[in-house]
Structure 1
Amino acid sequence: MQRDARHIHCGQRHIRVESGMTGLLASRPMLEGQVRRRITALPGVQVLPDSVATGLLVERDRVTGVRLAGGEPMPADLVVDASGRGSRTPFWLDELGIVPPAEERVMLNVRYGTREFRRRPGDLDGDLIVVAPTPDRPRGGVALAMEDDRWIVTLVGYDQAPDPSLDGFATFAADLPAPDLHQFVTTAQPIGELQVYRNPAGIRRRYEQLTRFPEGLLVTGDAGCAFNPRYGQGMTVAALEALELLKTDLRPLPFFKRIAKVVDGPWQITVDDDVRLHHATNAVNPKKRLLNAYLERFHTPAARDPELALRFQRVANLYASPSSLVTPGSLARVLRNGAPPAPVPAAESVPGGGSERSAR
């Protein structure tokens, strides 16, 4: 994840070293298809296609199943709402006379466009590029290798999205804080058309703060907390929450408190960064302003200090707590070496091989 990748944050190109973290790149349809095949092969698992749950079955403050769109009941010992950010659970709670959870919303208006490109031998030298937005250039992007000799390139902006044309896609990439993706998309062979998406807000529903909730019902994944997709942490958080379903205690309120601890770190990371990049969100208090200034300075020495680069990647990939970036050791390294940021240079030989290997 660090040796075979280009990570550019706050306009600084992180040093490439062995990280001990391995990433497996695949398209979402392939991943979901594999998950579906594994699950449906389990004994006792039945999938009901084209079925929609329209309400809850409840007896004496306990959920006993769901009601399907045709009106037929489906009894259940446990109902888990993993339906995503459009979850109906808050509305169903209100119908039961139970106060829905408070919501935290971070207004984003994030827009992103994705194109696929043909992957040729020697492309990009490493199979991963991440260019993070900066406050003065609130645009970023990633390039990821996929199966069937394809690249997927996503460009993202706050309040802005790439034009549908290939020229518009390249023009958008030209204004990123680093030139790597622009150089690549202007030489690669496109496949298909641009797909454009919009994410208006990050949403966290505070189920752990409730004092009353029906037994037999749990909420997980984006139904509880929907992140800004730019950070790529929603699926990891959902997987960590799923591990909590293996615990013997599946009472709702203890479960919500356990997964709140899973969500706290990633949510704070993304909210703080979104506030730094997108000023239409919550006001920034002096403490957060100081922390943001420190983190911006953090990336300058991470361009040459392997330990700082690895600490950042471990936090970004949810191996470590954000507090590991502000330990006395990290502070000393940053304050000693954190010169003001300089413009990021272009990587050598972007379409082919040979870039940045000496930094390993």
Structure 2
Amino acid sequence: MRGIGEHAVVLGAGMAGLLAARALAGAYDRVTVVERDQGLNGRSRKGVPQGRHAHILLPRGQRILEELLPGAEAALIGGGAVVADPGVDHHFALGGHTLARRPGSERAIQASRPLLEDVVRECVGALPGVRFAEGRDVVGLLTAGPGRITGVQVVPRTPGAAAEEVRADLVLDAMGRAGRTRYWLERLGHGPVPQEEVRIGVAYATRPVRLPLDSGVGKAVVVGPRPGSPRGMAMVAVEGDRYLLTVAGLDGANRPPADEEGFLAFVRTLAPPEVFEAILAGEALDGIASHRYPSDLRNRYERARGLPDGLLVTGDALCSFNPIYAQGMTVACLEAQVLRRCLAAGPRGLARRYFRAVAKALNDPWRMAVAADLSMPEVEGRRGPAIRVMNAYVDRVQAAAARDADVAEQFFRVVGLLDPPPALMRPSIVARVLGAGA
């Protein structure tokens, strides 16, 4: 990729920021990744409160990650990541149906969030011109007149440290939902940036466990929520000969407890009996970590008027979804891919082109996540005809997928973001779905 600028600054060293830095490397002579946390390697960190919970990179994300960072898969496997054939090694119960599977579908590379970040950070940090500036809070944007962002102001997280100015041709916000770019822009006279939000109030609890060697559980067990039972679980084998057992539910009576007895009682309501017996016979490796996720949230920068040049946004700062659908890291991969294409077309109109292109890439995962959340009567929100028809059809698809491996395969290609949702409406699939319900 030909160079289009001297210096780009990425705010945030999570997965979205790291992948964005990969896309920027080569287009800019220098790329600085500013991160508030220090000592990033090998552990969950404060800036990623969900880091102790189970994570899955969807098939589309796995493909893009290897395309952006060749050798990342091998490095993950070398670090202990678990290799699985989802058609054999995964158990999915969705909508109250256990879905049929068969060997030979996409290979899954399963790892904890810290290992994923460590591998990606090492790959990105080895790129020419990329450096990390840890232990710094971003406190504002720098401008040169009303129409251009020229950098950021940061404050080192050491007592008595003075504010620093970091000048750049491009600033990219990857600071997550807590990022304040929208507010800084409004204070500078830009925007406002429209938002879409669906409040869901979902809570998570996770414990790492080691199962007996003869448990026969497989490498992942996923039980999805359904109307009348807004709870779910994912138990995923990762490095270190352990599983991450994550349970989730809506606030209130379905919120997972963080105490030992309550946590196990909650798991019992979800896990298949043989899986629950394996958990009881296994070994708890750490305490129970909790996390709360208030809403699906999308910042519509592509609809904002008068945005300045020199500023882009990615990751959860742009769009965040209910984590139960495992879309977040894969969407970050998609956004990095979009960014790379936009950079290849040169600097002219970069922000406008990027926000339009990334909005298009986000449409399918956003609609799928919102529709799935609104299938729960307990979630407040408008359910138009399109949402009601989609959810009714998905119910039929999941029922058919319990008996028909072809339907299940197409369903998983859609939820894995390999195929768009209309693929489920192909005549051959519709015939199988409606025939199964006859």
Q: Same fold (TM over 0.5)?
A: yes
Distance 1:179 1:286 in 2: 38
Distance 2:211 2:121 in 1: 27
Partner of 2:153: 67
For the 8 Å contact 2:227–2:375, the answer to whether it is kept is yes
Q: 1:9 aligns with which of 80, 89, 94?
A: 94
Q: 1:279 aligns with which of 348, 364, 378?
A: 378
Partner of 1:342: none
Q: 1:260 to 1:242 in 2, by over 3 A?
A: same
Distance 1:180 1:257 in 2: 48
Secondary structure of the 2:87 match is coil
For the 8 Å contact 2:152–2:167, the answer to whether it is kept is yes
In structure 2, give the amino acid aligned to 1:229.
P
Q: 2:328 aligns with which of 209, 234, 248?
A: 234
In structure 1, give the amino acid aligned to 2:279.
V
Partner of 1:52: 137
Secondary structure of the 1:186 match is helix
In structure 2, give the amino acid aligned to 1:20.
S
Partner of 1:107: 199
In structure 1, give the amino acid aligned to 2:331.
V
In structure 1, give the amino acid aligned to 2:339.
L
Partner of 1:298: 397
Deviations 1:126-159 (A, max 9, x none): 2011100111111110110111111101001012
Partner of 2:245: 153
Number of matched pairs: 339
Partner of 1:324: 423
1:68 shift after superposition: 1.2
1:19 shift after superposition: 4.5
Secondary structure of the 2:176 match is coil
In structure 2, give the amino acid aligned to 1:223.
A
Distance 1:194 1:319 in 2: 34
Deviations 1:259-315 (A, max 9, x none): 111111011011001011143321212332232122112112211211110011111
Range 190-199 or range 69-78, more displaced: 69-78
Range 17-26 or range 281-290, more displaced: 281-290
Gapped runs of 5+ residues in structure 1?
A: 340-360
RMSD, aligned CA: 1.7
Partner of 1:116: 208
Q: 2:225 aligns with which of 133, 136, 139?
A: 133
Q: Aligned runs of 1:137-216 on 2, under 5 Å?
A: 137-159=229-251, 160-176=254-270, 178-179=272-273, 181-216=275-310
Range 92-101 or range 248-257, more displaced: 248-257
Distance 2:434 2:176 in 1: 42
Distance 1:295 1:301 in 2: 10
1:125 shift after superposition: 4.3
Gapped runs of 5+ residues in structure 2?
A: 1-85, 156-161
1:112 shift after superposition: 0.9
Secondary structure of the 2:429 match is helix
Secondary structure of the 1:277 match is coil
Distance 1:308 1:124 in 2: 26
Distance 2:140 2:108 in 1: 39
In structure 1, give the amino acid aligned to 2:437.
G
Q: 1:290 to 1:313 in 2, by over 3 A?
A: same
| Greater length-normalized contact order (CA 8 Å, ≥ 6 residues apart) | 1
Q: 1:286 to 1:177 in 2, by over 3 A?
A: farther
Distance 2:226 2:429 in 1: 22
Deviations 1:295-337 (A, max 9, x none): 1121122112111100111111110111111222221111111
TM-score, normalised by the number of residues in structure 1 = 0.90
In structure 1, give the amino acid aligned to 2:395.
E
Secondary structure of the 1:111 match is strand
TM-score, normalised by the number of residues in structure 2 = 0.74
For the 8 Å contact 2:298–2:318, the answer to whether it is kept is yes
Distance 1:180 1:260 in 2: 43
Secondary structure of the 1:56 match is strand
Secondary structure of the 1:85 match is helix
1:180 shift after superposition: 5.4
